[in-house]
Structure 1
């Protein structure tokens, strides 16, 4: 039986623009979510390259979207420059959250990994096992892992990036969050990227890092867990992908933590 999260303070560190669905689900579960973004999403400083790739979008066979931010930041540019998505260009998404972001923009046909939600899972799909001669554009933020593009190129695809946003640490006052933490009002932390873990530690400062290390952290990938453990976080739980996976892990954790009758 699902255990209620009633009264549990959950620190949500997603970018502000992406946090609403999770906040709503936590509130519906009677939890007490506290939003403290550890990443801010901003447009690229130089958009010329992005505009060039989007102007040639119809030339590609596949477009891969790495994250919901990639969708939300690219779509206004696509609509302003093209008016609509080129019908012949197939779309793939790394995970279900990215697919939902595409659906919000009217895109229903999205190829998703059959298991998992990362580049490795996407590369396991049949369409990307032998992509020789195919032209692939990857919508992503500036920087990031090169594994997807490198593997596709090694398999014979022609790959370009459409870097449609950049990530930066927010300017935020941690004092209210630290005060709530010291009052025992934060029982768990949710972080969705390794960069977000590192930014969070920086934002919290020396005193806050002690609280962070002692609080269970829930992350959707082993690479993020490694970043958390490298910073000394003592209890890191790797969840299944998406909000559903996070909520399931939170419920399991607090069921285990609750004293038995």
Structure 2
């Protein structure tokens, strides 16, 4: 497995944590964040939702930045947060909330909305008449969770806490990094991460599309294939453990 030389594209702090995990098993990685998290200014509407937290039947966090920023905001206005059920897309996000002392449910079947929607605990949390759900997330994003929960009879609100930006890189920087460091695999952790990779690659994309591309879910895998990626590996999760499992099962390409 130590023949892999990977490009990591998560936000800076997450990239470094993943790079450290890969280094422990002698996998080389190069950190090039393609997602930058910019917190949104806290306004009166956001504060009102936080103050109304006890009236939600369930609260869902879709990412680690949403969990971190949500906990900070709740800590400002709640000496002791209400004890309803919380739900996350992914175990890493769950750990942020559980460290804060919240009751958290997540799926062991995958790090995506589809897996979360299959959780029996979520079904129970919204089975009451006039159930309300609050989703903590970044600006924009998928509507699947809200759509499916509304179909089940719940009302859904968003608390958007940040925006995701593509850091500035010079033209051709991505291809130069891959060539200079002889990288033989690319890793993205979300749909927007892939979109930023594709955008930054620009005219170099046909060459990069030949490299193994490790993605966290079937949805992102389909996005990548639609864009022309030729060797997509669905890790079925965004954690270091799921990436390492995928690396063990995937032959190192001969470059």
TM-score scaled to structure 1, two decimals?
0.86
1:223 is the counterpart of 2:219: yes
Residue in structure 2 matched with residue 163 of structure 1 by the alignment: 160
Is contact 2:213–2:233 with CA below 8 Å preserved after alignment? yes
CA deviations on 1:190-242 (whole Å, 9 max, x unpaired) are 101122112112223313x2332121100011111122122221100001312
Is contact 1:128–1:152 with CA below 8 Å preserved after alignment? no
Within 5 A, what are the aligned runs for 1:66-85? Answer: 66-85=62-81
Is contact 2:40–2:162 with CA below 8 Å preserved after alignment? yes
State the alpha-carbon separation in 1 of the partners of residues 236 and 248 from structure 2. 13
2:133 is paired with a residue whose SS is strand
The Cα shift of 1:77 comes to 1.5
**Measured at CA, do residues 160 and 180 of structure 1 come closer, stay the same or move farther in structure 2, by a change above 3 Å?**
closer
Is contact 1:11–1:33 with CA below 8 Å preserved after alignment? yes
Residue in structure 2 matched with residue 246 of structure 1 by the alignment: 243
1:112 is the counterpart of 2:109: no
**Measured at CA, do residues 101 and 173 of structure 1 come closer, stay the same or move farther in structure 2, by a change above 3 Å?**
farther
The Cα shift of 1:16 comes to 1.4
State the alpha-carbon separation in 2 of the partners of residues 75 and 172 from structure 1. 32
State the alpha-carbon separation in 1 of the partners of residues 94 and 233 from structure 2. 24
1:195 is the counterpart of 2:192: yes
**Measured at CA, do residues 177 and 150 of structure 1 come closer, stay the same or move farther in structure 2, by a change above 3 Å?**
closer
Within 5 A, what are the aligned runs for 1:1-261? Answer: 4-5=1-2, 8-44=4-40, 47-86=43-82, 88-103=83-98, 105-107=99-101, 109-129=103-123, 131=126, 132-133=128-129, 134-173=131-170, 177-183=174-180, 185-207=182-204, 209-241=205-237, 242-254=239-251, 257=253
2:250 is paired with a residue whose SS is helix
Is contact 1:189–1:218 with CA below 8 Å preserved after alignment? yes
1:19 is paired with a residue whose SS is helix
**Greater shift after overlay, 118-127 or 68-77?**
118-127
TM-score scaled to structure 2, two decimals?
0.88
State the alpha-carbon separation in 1 of the partners of residues 47 and 15 from structure 2. 28
State the alpha-carbon separation in 2 of the partners of residues 83 and 211 from structure 1. 54
CA deviations on 1:2-36 (whole Å, 9 max, x unpaired) are xx325x32101111132232111111111221111
> Any stretches of 5+ residues in structure 1 without a counterpart?
none
Number of paired residues? 250
State the alpha-carbon separation in 1 of the partners of residues 52 and 10 from structure 2. 32
CA deviations on 1:135-182 (whole Å, 9 max, x unpaired) are 221111111111211221221222211111111222124655433322
State the alpha-carbon separation in 2 of the partners of residues 73 and 217 from structure 1. 30
RMSD of aligned Cα (Å):
2.2
Is contact 2:218–2:236 with CA below 8 Å preserved after alignment? no
